[in-house]
Chain A
Amino acid sequence: MKMDTPITATNYPAWLIEIGTEELPSSYMPLLERKLQERFQEWLREESWIKASETCHVRLTPRRIVFTIETIEEAQQKKEEWLKGPPVKAAFTQDNQETPALKGFLNRCRSGTYEIRTVENGQYVFGLSRPGNQTVIDFFHQQFPGFLLSFPYEKLMRWGQYQFIRPIKWVLALYGSTLIPMTILDTDSKLATRLLQGQGERVVNSSEEYYHLMHQNGIVLSISEREALIEAQIREKIKNRNLFSARFYIVTENACRTEVPVVVEALFPLSFTALPKEIIETVLTAQMKCFPLYEAETKQLTNRFLFVMNGERNTELVKKGFEKVVTARLSDAAYFYQQDKKIPFSTRKDWLSKVMFMEKLGTMDQKVQRVAYMAEKLGSYEEIQRYSENGLLPQVIQLYKLDLTTLLVQELTELQGTVGKIYIQESDEFDLINDVKDRDEIARAVEESYRPKSDEDTIEDLSRLGVMINLLDRWDTWIGVHCIGLNLSSSGDPLGIRRTVNGLLSILGKRPGTIPLSEYLRVGLEAYQQINEISFDIDKVKSDWNAYYLQRMRSLLSGSVHFGKHRYDIVQAVLNNTGSLQIQSPYEMSVKVDLLEKEILNPELKEQLKELYQSFIRMQKITNVTFSPGLPKDSLFESNAEEALWMAGKTVENEWNHCGINSVLALLYKLNKPIQRFFDEVMVMVDSPSIRENRLRLLSWLLSMMSDFADFSKIVFEGGNEQ
């Protein structure tokens, strides 16, 4: 198969470097391609080699990282100038040695002269760059290895005395038809590349030759083009055949595992279609990265599937191999399914005490008990009450972890929840659930207790019972990790806590609910004390919890599938609400951020917000003195403006409690005029201590009320925040 690359005959890049490696980790490739591309552009701009970023690219296949620049001057005149380098903190070690960051910077300056200067945001090293004429070849010969190796890779490995993402096999470095000599770790650049694994080396004298070679051999250099190619081939395979394919999320994985993607159709024995379809889908997609095929009309799973092969091979042979593996895996799954079915599902309860939940947090049996405890203690809240009364929630709690003891889930962990659902639906042993409708509802909730499975998974379609078990389960995990003082601030997420909490907050962001966060927290902590009998410092746990909550919300509101992407200053303003004693819910935060952002982007509405902001700042400044706190007294008001502001404040306070969170901002605008009038007519810092204090108390009371909504002082207005 030959495909089109985006390069046309006229625009072969002038400059090309290909780093050949052992297979890159596919899970890291999409991020790596994007980040390297950004850094590469930045670097070339910093070094003044390019002006427009679209002329340079980084593309990845499993075996190569290809850097290209379409047009580049043969040489550039460098003036002598002082360049800003790394901050002092990053430039020297504790014993005052130069760090690799500083060495790299000085190498770029090529003069060795540097000094430390204090600028706006701290102390930085400035280096003097050596003037002169610099050729492309000289520059990249000297600088490219350093650029490549100093990139902060998230996945690294060591081999020999070296370290990189994976071992480097070859380096092709071209400018026009000239070799750019360089050595990267143990590999010297050559005018040669390699094709697919095992196909040997080919000489390359120009980028035109390189692209021809790749094209002839079907090697597609960028991930997105391989994705498009796979999708196009899938469409072609099922065209006019009354079939459809799904599970497109494995397209990227396949594009990162192949250089020459070729889609092939294969079969598994028809008898396996008697298995629950989720099992077959998981074997095909999660284990084998294959695409199941469905009948278009009935949506029934067929015994056909598509897989992606790397390069033109003996298709029949490869197909036979894939079919054999899929068949073996399905027989395994069928065996586990049959074995599981021999044991009545509900008797698995006794086994939960053998399944560990988390080190120091006990077993799954204890987790189930804690969740039941929380449900009982929160039972008077509307969303729990309805399911406690009809008995569905207690049943879900007793059943939702049982599938962890099945062979199927032990073998195919992706199926947790789903296996529970299947076994509940298929079981005839539940005397309590004789109503088919109830059984379906319970089975569905058991499966939904694991949703969202990723940050991208949908949550809008979850049932209310599913949401409830989901929330209780996630709260329990989240509270637990704080009880044992786990450090959640590191960048890794080995226990999946970040995903658990993001899922929980996303659900709470969409569904307001009636249970305050503080109640979940209180009852969750109580459950640990009662059931696990573990002791902890409650205040510390609460403050750790709160810090992590705000950190997660900041990240989610700044950009996520379920909360959208919001302005940094507005997120800060909402998170910083200092007035309230009540913890804001994710739903409230989400509404407030939306409201503020809508106002600030609308030129007409923006003015009242700005007025509120200015009042806020003014009140903040003026109350920034010492005075005894408390409410103002009517008897000490001397002017109508004071009286009017006090009354307006009272009205807002009363209405606040009755109107929804959506109307609060409009309510606060009602304060704009009275505040304005107050400042026009009233002098706060008068000589009389009692009058002065009374006025300060009035303003401070208003300020605290406004802060309940947001810290308006954090908002940044376009064109300046002038007052």
Chain B
Amino acid sequence: MTLDCIINTLTGFWRDQGCTVLPAYDMEVGAGTMSPYTFFQVLSEKPVSLCYVQPSRRPTDGRYGENPNRVFKHHQLQVIIKPSPKEIQSLYLQSLQTIGIQIQDHDIRFIEDNWESPTLGAWGVGWEVWLDGMEITQFTYFQQCGGVDLPVPSVEITYGLERIALYIQDKLSVYDLQFGAGTLYGDLRLQEEVEQSKYCHELANSQRLLQLFQLYFEESEYCLQNRLVLPAYDYALKCSHVFNILDSLGALSVTERTRYLGKVRKLANQAAKQTIQSPQEDTK
């Protein structure tokens, strides 16, 4: 089964379960959770069922295309549902069946693994799912987001698509994966990996990036002052991506690193707080 077919089948499965299938968020993020579709939707009590594929950029993982498993950009399939259905684990296992993983044949286990994002002020309780020893999914019940205790915890399922495809296609290197019929992952992505790794590890201009960080940060704060949380959050994401490149360059000292992380978290926390407060503001 090709990678595009895996994506189609899984999103189709979750659409049949009532999820709205969305396009990826069109900005750089480090993980599917950072998409505003997840970040803002989990904050309220309102039910939600969403599914989307999110390219996730992690500059420090860039390996110039030389490592078979680790890449600058990988793809996550994100499912977010609130409140969590009682049989969510069974649904998840059924979704694996649809892409040809016969669960009776395999050793599929839910291994204790709690999740935390210091940038988003978010954490959850849950598992990583092992398929014959390989971690293919993060399965989390969100407990807090943007520093706020969630009134109704959402369940978040994050499939690591490259890993699953490696398994299904029985390949050792991501670059050998069939992305679509006749198209190799390497054909589409290898050059990007080489160039992005070169950029993020060696070439990026840290002075300009620090200026960018500051500009994005100020713009985000400016939006927050005017109670425009969504534009503010977009700029917080920009900050986070610039921070990740600076980190990958090794351009931040230890104390600076903590300080910059704290700045992004502050933006995310404020955006979350304003989102929760806004309905009450409206009624004034």
**Interface residues, chain A, with chain B CB atoms under 8 Å away:** 22-23, 25-27, 62, 155, 157-161, 167, 169, 186, 197-199, 257-258, 288, 307, 309-311, 313-314, 317-318, 320-322, 324-328, 331-332, 335, 353-356, 359, 363
Contacts and interface: CB of A to CB of B under 8 A. Distances in A.
A451 B66 CA distance: 36
Contacts of A314: 105-106
A363 B256 CA distance: 12
B89 interface: yes
A324 B134 contact: yes
9 contacts: A23-B112, A27-B112, A157-B153, A160-B84, A197-B89, A313-B107, A318-B133, A321-B131, A324-B172
Contact of B152 (A155, A161, A321): A161
B107 A309 contact: yes
Contact of B70 (A23, A159, A327, A332): A332
A332 B127 contact: no
A354 B258 CA distance: 12
B90 to A, nearest CB: 7
B254 A356 contact: yes
Contact of B132 (A169, A318, A331): A318
B69 interface: yes
Interface in B35-92: 63, 66-70, 83-84, 86-87, 89-90
A198 B108 CA distance: 10
Nearest to B129: A23
Interface in B76-135: 83-84, 86-87, 89-90, 93, 103-112, 125-127, 131-134
Given A355-B254, A356-B255, A321 B132 contact: yes
Given A157-B141, A307-B133, 16 more contacts: A23-B111, A62-B109, A158-B143, A158-B153, A159-B84, A167-B141, A197-B109, A198-B103, A257-B111, A321-B167, A322-B132, A325-B134, A331-B68, A332-B70, A335-B63, A359-B258
B12 interface: no
A350 to B, nearest CB: 12
Contacts of B103: 197-198
B155 interface: yes
Nearest to A322: B133
A26 B93 contact: no
Interface in B153-173: 153, 155, 167, 172
A318 B105 CA distance: 8
Contacts of B125: 155, 157
A605 to B, nearest CB: 51
B254 to A, nearest CB: 4
Contacts of B68: 328, 331
Nearest to B89: A22
A310 B111 contact: no
B141 A311 contact: no
B107 A310 contact: yes
- Most central of A62, A198, A199 by chain B CB within 10 Å: A198
The 5 closest A-B pairs by CB, nearest first: A321-B132, A356-B254, A314-B105, A23-B110, A157-B125
Interface in B200-220: none
Contacts of B280: none
Contacts of B134: 321, 324-325
A335 B255 contact: no
B13 to A, nearest CB: 16
Contacts of A159: 83-84, 141, 153, 155
B253 interface: yes
Contact of B67 (A161, A198, A320, A335): A335
B259 to A, nearest CB: 11
A412 to B, nearest CB: 14
Contact of B108 (A167, A197, A353): A197
Contacts of A199: 104
B172 A328 contact: yes
Contacts of A288: 133
Contact of A313 (B106, B110, B127): B106
A313 B111 CA distance: 18
Contacts of B90: 198
B110 A22 contact: yes
Given A157-B125, A197-B93, A356-B258, A326 B133 contact: yes
Nearest to B111: A257
A288 B67 CA distance: 20
A91 to B, nearest CB: 27
A198 B172 contact: no
Contact of B93 (A198, A257, A328): A198
